[in-house]
Amino acid sequence: MAYEHLTPATLAFSENGIPFSADYGDIYHSDGGGPGQSRHVFLAGNRLPERWRDRDSFVILETGFGTGLNFLATWQAWLNDPQACQRLHYLSVEKHPFRSEDLAVIHAAWPEFADLAGQLRAAWPTLTPGYHRIEFAGGHLILTLLLGDAARMLDTLQAQVDAVYLDGFAPGKNPDIWSPAVLGRIGQLAGTGATLATWSVSAPVRSALQAAGFTLEMTPGFASKRDMLTGRLDQVRPRHNQPSSRKAIVIGAGVAGCTCCERLASRGWDITLIDRREGPGMEASGNLAGLLMPLISKDDNIASRLSRTALLYGLRHWQNPAAAEAGARLGGNGVFQIARNPEQEEVQRTLIDRLKLPPEFMTYLDRQQAEAHLGHAVPAGGWLFRHAGWANPPSLCQASLKLAGERLRTHFGCSIASLIRTDGQWQALDESGQLIAEAPVVVLASGSDAVNIAQAAQLPIQRIRGQVTLIPDGRIPKLSAGLCREGYAAPAMDGLHAVGASYDFDADPDPREESTQGNLDRLANLLPGIDIELSSFANRVGFRPAPIDRMPIMGALPDWTRTPQTTDIQLHDLPRHAGLYGLLGYSSRGLVWAQLLAEALVCELEGEPMPMETDLLTAIDPGRFMLRNIRREGGTK
């Protein structure tokens, strides 16, 4: 996907005080009253709230989030309906989102939504391109903003939609959002019996919707508008089979497995968590501190987009009050990525102008500015990620399990030697063949140990040794932000700075002097002028699971015993193990990947809208390794 930066909407009003877009020459809602239009056209036009009643989940797709008025009216109706669906997904595309402070001005005109509008603005995302998933009402109302061009963003969406709000500026003023391509894609996303509603009755719109499969009807419009349009998709579309039993085994109690338990429990699953260690977060997730920061590239590639989406989603989750009450420990004063040399410093400066990401997400500081901001010397300028930070991984593991609550059972100090599928159930067996647990779904989240299970043995996951050195507070300058260059240093936590990390390809579990010295050299490369000699510092060794392409693994595991013998095959056609999934290969970015990938896995299980673009999902699909092998070896043509 070619990179396109976001241009926020400019706040303006028409002569009679209605929010107005000078770029499109159109108002954001009817002059007959915004809330009334939302209820009449979009809610009543889709026969809501009746159609979402007594459903487990319901999905609404909107073209043009605008001021958020339709969302607020829908949220209010959902809250006021005692028979409302258990989970409401609201997907909305927006090319020019408003800034939060501008929304505050607009929302002041609708006091009936004051509380909900305040919650929306408090959770309003940093305006970066891509998907932003935000949860309200204890996770039962899920807003996913698709920020970017409508045609492109809808092409990246994996969802089955129950109701469509066709909004946006008039077709004559913004034809792109009403194009046959966009309306045709909406038809592809619609499920059996899906409805749509819009105030537009233009002939080209009607023609495109009919071509997309909708049966249309003209009904009375709102206020001075005589007509509006409603529609229904009568074609039968395959639906995702809902789980017959929401029971799962999760193997591995690091950050990948623990976040998976929390996300499964949020959808009503019962989980058995198994780990060979005596408690959660005792392998690579047991380090004192790790940095939460994005990956930046010149072309905003797949890894960069995934890291940005995952970081912002994870921070929203971990910084909410429930996570804090559960014991999640984070620091959020930002991370400063120092340029390695003058050439990279120039690249960093140039990319600020090229990517045009908002300054609250990423800004460039030269050396003098950085030293003034941080309060200590640095060797060069670099990027400051203001929303980034650091966290204590074991606390995130423990908080996830606490949030999972009574739906979770744990088996610690227990190793799984094999998995056997019998009568639709996976049986997890120990080395003696004794049954530990049984469930229709298993999630492997055990890092590099996963390849010891036969069904995952061919996943190309390396085991990288990482040694972290712990420096007592006071031995180095006070750090107000995380630092990284060719190593990292975190602000003090529990009186210690985590500094690291080595990157070794051996299996030595014990700390060694040469790795400690390497970490001190990395520290000196971050903080010029410090004088720390090799001493009896505490160290910790962990092993990071790294796939050969350095991208994480999420999804249904391929069945290597049924590898197709032809190159003419696509990822979605590969044979998979029924009910066997992986959350693996997080390498050194587990704190960034974990929450979003766990959410994506649960959405895959439940058939809910996916929280990221399809090309990102393709890039992390475990089937990619089978597909590469097939194409590399040539298959049978």
Q: What is the mean pLDDT of residues 589-605?
A: 97
Q: What is the mean pLDDT of residues 449-465?
A: 96
Strand partners, 89: 59, 142
> Domain ranges in the chain?
20-233, 247-283+394-460+548-633, 332-390+462-541
- The CATH H-level superfamily of 20-233 is Vaccinia Virus protein VP39 (3.40.50.150)
Radius of gyration of the chain measured on its C-alpha atoms: 26
| Token digits of residue 109 | 């005109």
Mean pLDDT, the chain, whole residue set? 94
Percent of the chain with pLDDT over 90: 89
- Residue range 14-26, pLDDT digits in tens: 988 899 998 898 8
Q: What is the mean pLDDT of residues 41-48?
A: 98
pLDDT for the residue numbered 636: 42
The correct CATH number of 332-390+462-541 out of 1.25.10.10, 3.30.9.10, 3.40.50.2000, 3.40.30.10 is: 3.30.9.10
| Fold for the domain defined by 247-283+394-460+548-633 | FAD/NAD(P)-binding domain (3.50.50)
Q: How many beta carbons lie within 10 A of that of residue 410, not counting itself?
A: 17
Kindly tell me the burial class for residue 435, based on how many C-beta atoms sit within 10 Å of its own C-beta (0-12, 13-18, 19 or more): exposed
Q: What is the mean pLDDT of residues 332-357?
A: 94
pLDDT category of residue 3 using cuts at 50, 70 and 90: low
Residues 265, 405: contact at Cβ < 8 Å? Answer: yes
Q: Which residues contact 320 (CB under 8 A, 6 or more apart)?
A: none
* Helices assigned H by DSSP within 490-589: 513-526
Long-range Cβ contacts of 278-282 (<8 Å, 24+ apart): 278/412, 278/413, 279/253, 279/412, 280/253, 280/254, 280/394, 280/397, 280/398, 280/401, 280/412, 281/253, 281/254, 281/255, 281/393, 281/394, 281/395, 281/396, 281/397, 281/398, 282/253, 282/394
pLDDT over 70 at 635, yes or no: no
Task: Report the C-alpha gap between 284 and 79 in whole angstroms.
Answer: 42
Kindly tell me the burial class for residue 430, based on how many C-beta atoms sit within 10 Å of its own C-beta (0-12, 13-18, 19 or more): middle
Task: Report the C-alpha gap between 389 and 331 in whole angstroms.
Answer: 5
Report DSSP letters for 517-534, one per residue: HHHHHHHHHHSTT-----
Domains 247-283+394-460+548-633 and 332-390+462-541 equal at CATH topology level:
no
Q: What is the mean pLDDT of residues 259-270?
A: 98
H or E segment and range at residue 100: helix 100-107
Residues 330, 318: contact at Cβ < 8 Å? Answer: yes
pLDDT for the residue numbered 2: 57
Q: What is the mean pLDDT of residues 203-222?
A: 96
